[in-house]
A and B are shown apart, each in its own frame.
Chain A
């Protein structure tokens, strides 16, 4: 089983190579169309780099060569994960990205788990109370959640929970000056994460609530649910033991579809809360017009989407062994 899963993952990775090439081509097109030549873009900005460095880049990327050769060289460098240099930070882009990866990863994972939990509980509640006021309230809230700009909601929560009530910290990932260690530090990070993770999870939660509610209503008349009722199971047990299992697969699919949008949301949420991840990095890159860093971010975000989609497909097979590993 494990071996065949690994083989499956490998095959899906190989199948994603054309898409990855497309993503790199997209980067190449943007870098070529932007004002200034590729060397300017890769150097971070025109004039900041020494002439030797610029000449070096021009040679490395063959800027005097025809377009197709340039694309090949660009691809070759990307394949070695050489994403160029960020002059604003004075370090290679790849290093910057790896440094900022895990805060974003932590934030997104928390947000996904929160969305899953809240979506299941509220969806079950809405279905159990169908067409009564809790159901309407949940549906209307979901409708509003779709329409709310996440960054604005973040700012408003800062006003309420940080400025007025003083309950939660308004920015950062931890209180560095306090010098916490171990469990105390983890708790501090958790407190800092409450607002950004809640806001980032909002959109996905709204999807999950609707999905869970629909699944509940759909299966509630089916035979296996009647059987469960007949053998004396309570409504809660039916919901969580029988209905949830059937609703989980579409939830996993939804995650794969929404992960790109969530990364976009992370850029805005991290900007609002000064969360030191990839999104915050994107904001500083925009602010300083560091196009090469932005292209690196675009690349790594696309890779994340591909990887998470493969992970959801593997999750499928683990949840439901009937789905063949093809």
Chain B
């Protein structure tokens, strides 16, 4: 076991891009963790002259926005929002997708057809548009945003889990478990799922990235939680002064780009480390 983990680590670390991704990700986690240490008063406080450019005043290294709010404080708190939404939405979507995929793959027949029909409907509806409608129909809060994003993110995972299960079902150890009289839930949870965990982890890690992008898009349309300073909100608010003070829009966009890129790199590294056979594709 120890040996296996070592070779996993070695394979992962050999992937230089994935290591770069981990480093960027650590910086972003550091940003989120240090927000309330450096700026205990929160990101909304008007602290200085409006529209100070980065470097104008040493007190505000990244400048201030058009109301005089500290941009660095806003970016640090934005990291919290993005990471929270990314993780929470991924968790919910993974549970939902795994549930649908597992029941469809395990029970087969009519259950499978019903579940896959359900999945197909969700794959037909354009994901971002559905998220917009769901958040707009209810109040935009962190909860509704997480629900909306997970609601549009689970279908690919359900298909993946189902495919894994269908592949595993004829295996002897599964047939033996069925003959032993193990309950369905126990077979799914203890026999099948552990063997499907690799693709779930890989696609889950990539899902965090797309959730962060979805959240940024929602906030940009004015569908962010009004009490959360998110990167998408800062981009949208900077739009008013885009022609003269474009740095307000540029900086949070770079933050989103860095976060999503880092997570994608880590996800690909995980994929290559966990599936050594697909490495040379």
Q: How distant is the Cα of A23 from the Cα of B117 in the complex, in angstroms?
A: 11
Q: How distant is the Cα of A18 from the Cα of B124 in the complex, in angstroms?
A: 12
Q: A152-B235, A282-B129 are in contact. Are A260 and B257 (CB under 8 A)?
A: no
Report whether A260 and B242 are in contact in the complex, using a CB–CB cutoff of 8 Å: no
Is A186 on the interface with B (CB-CB < 8 A)? no
Is A246 on the interface with B (CB-CB < 8 A)? no
Q: How distant is the Cα of A287 from the Cα of B223 in the complex, in angstroms?
A: 9
Of A18, A158, A264, A267, the most chain B CB neighbours within 10 A belong to A264
Of the listed stretches A46-54, A88-96, A228-236, A292-300, chain B binds: A292-300
Residues of A within 8 Å of B173, CB to CB, are: none
B197 to chain A, nearest CB (A): 25
Q: Residue of A at shortest CB range from B17?
A: A143
Q: Residue of B at shortest CB range from A265?
A: B128
Q: Residue of B at shortest CB range from A214?
A: B281
Q: How distant is the Cα of A298 from the Cα of B258 in the complex, in angstroms?
A: 31
Report whether A267 and B221 are in contact in the complex, using a CB–CB cutoff of 8 Å: yes
Report whether A152 and B221 are in contact in the complex, using a CB–CB cutoff of 8 Å: no
Report whether B125 and A34 are in contact in the complex, using a CB–CB cutoff of 8 Å: no
Q: How distant is the Cα of A305 from the Cα of B125 in the complex, in angstroms?
A: 7
Residues of B within 8 Å of A267, CB to CB, are: 128-129, 132, 221
Count of chain A residues with a beta carbon within 8 Å of a chain B beta carbon? 49
Of the listed stretches B25-33, B95-103, B187-195, B245-253, chain A binds: B245-253
B211 to chain A, nearest CB (A): 13
Report whether B249 and A156 are in contact in the complex, using a CB–CB cutoff of 8 Å: yes
Is A215 on the interface with B (CB-CB < 8 A)? no
Q: A149-B253, A155-B249, A159-B246 are in contact. Are A297 and B137 (CB under 8 A)?
A: no
Report whether A264 and B127 are in contact in the complex, using a CB–CB cutoff of 8 Å: yes
Is A57 on the interface with B (CB-CB < 8 A)? no
Report whether B216 and A149 are in contact in the complex, using a CB–CB cutoff of 8 Å: yes
Q: How distant is the Cα of A31 from the Cα of B134 in the complex, in angstroms?
A: 9
Count of chain B residues with a beta carbon within 8 Å of a chain A beta carbon? 42
The 8 A CB mask of A24-67 against B (1 = contact, 0 = none) is 01100011011100000000000000000000000000000000
Report whether A147 and B125 are in contact in the complex, using a CB–CB cutoff of 8 Å: no
Report whether A301 and B125 are in contact in the complex, using a CB–CB cutoff of 8 Å: yes
Q: How distant is the Cα of A65 from the Cα of B124 in the complex, in angstroms?
A: 30
In the complex, which of the residues A149, A285, A306 contacts B213, with contact meaning CB atoms closer than 8 Å?
A149
Report whether A294 and B121 are in contact in the complex, using a CB–CB cutoff of 8 Å: no
Is A87 on the interface with B (CB-CB < 8 A)? no
Enumerate B237-269 residues with CB–CB distance to A below 8 Å.
239, 242-243, 246, 249-250, 252-253, 256-257, 260-261, 264-265
* New contact pairs (16) apart from A147-B213, A152-B235, A260-B127, CB-CB < 8 Å: A19-B121, A31-B137, A143-B261, A147-B257, A147-B260, A148-B257, A152-B216, A153-B253, A155-B249, A163-B242, A264-B126, A268-B128, A271-B221, A294-B132, A298-B125, A302-B124
Which are the 4 A-B pairs with shortest beta-carbon distances? A264-B128, A22-B121, A152-B253, A147-B261
- A–B complex contacts, Cβ < 8 Å, 10 sampled: A19-B121, A22-B120, A22-B124, A26-B125, A34-B137, A155-B246, A264-B128, A286-B221, A291-B133, A291-B137
